[in-house]
């Protein structure tokens, strides 16, 4: 068996040459279109990388400013209010609510120096606050009472829980 002689028939020659030229043209078009597409996407990726880097640097700047402002604000925190509460007032029947109120107000009056002070200095002087409260004796209806601090919370509002006892 032999291969038919296609080179003698012009129809087959045109078909094969058209197929070869078509393959060549389609390959060139494919390379051009793929190259243009890749170039466009590479440019987009580079723009996005630059934008991401810029946004990251902006975030770092904002975070530094935010942390700095937080530190400044924390330094500026001051004592706004003083609360004194007697926890064992039910133990002494002779103390009425007015007497309890007067004791609490007198203790607050002793601590008025703390108002508008920054939290750091108030925290450092907590032992002095304890001594001021515990060394003072209070006289109510011919009896002397002493206060003892049970707990103290120092923030913008200083809350002190005290226990009262006979002197």
Rounded CA-CA distance 108/115 in Å is 10
Q: Residue 7: what pLDDT?
A: 61
Tens digits of per-residue pLDDT, 1-36? 565 666 667 787 788 889 999 999 999 999 999 999
CB within 8 A of 79, min separation 6: which ones?
114, 115, 116, 117, 118, 119, 122, 154, 156, 157, 158
Same domain assignment for residues 62 and 87: no
In this predicted model, which residue has the larger pLDDT, 5 or 105? 105
3-state secondary structure of 137: strand
Same domain assignment for residues 95 and 63: no
In this predicted model, which residue has the larger pLDDT, 125 or 95? 125
Q: Into how many domains does the chain fold? A: 2
Is residue 54 assigned to a domain?
Answer: yes
Q: Residue 130: what pLDDT?
A: 92
* 109-115 mean pLDDT: 89
CB 158 within 8 A of CB 114: yes
Tens digits of per-residue pLDDT, 123-146? 999 999 999 999 988 888 888 889
Rounded CA-CA distance 67/56 in Å is 16
Is residue 112 assigned to a domain?
Answer: yes
Same domain assignment for residues 69 and 127: no
Q: What is the pTM of this model?
A: 0.58
Domain hosting residue 146, numbered range:
81-166
Q: Residue 31: what pLDDT?
A: 94
The CA radius of gyration of the chain, in Å to the nearest whole number, is: 44
The residue from 43, 75, 107 where one domain ends is 75
Same domain assignment for residues 91 and 150: yes
Q: Residue 60: what pLDDT?
A: 94
Q: Which two tokens stand for residue 134?
A: 């515990």
């Amino acid at each position: 068996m032999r291969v038919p002689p296609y080179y003698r028939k012009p129809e087959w020659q045109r078909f094969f040459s058209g197929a070869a030229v078509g393959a060549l043209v389609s390959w060139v078009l494919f390379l051009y279109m793929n190259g243009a597409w890749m170039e466009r996407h590479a440019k987009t990726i580079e723009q996005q990388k630059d934008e991401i880097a810029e946004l990251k640097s902006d975030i770092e700047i904002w975070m530094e400013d935010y942390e700095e402002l937080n530190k400044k604000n924390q330094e500026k925190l001051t004592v706004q209010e003083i609360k004194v509460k007697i926890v064992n007032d039910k133990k002494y029947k002779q103390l009425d609510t007015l007497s309890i109120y007067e004791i609490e107000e007198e203790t607050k009056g002793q601590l008025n120096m703390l108002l508008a002070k920054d939290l750091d200095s108030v925290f450092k002087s907590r032992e002095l606050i304890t001594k001021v409260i515990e060394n003072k004796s209070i006289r109510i209806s011919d009896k002397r009472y002493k206060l003892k601090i049970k707990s103290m919370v120092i923030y913008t509002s200083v809350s002190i829980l005290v226990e009262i006892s006979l002197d």
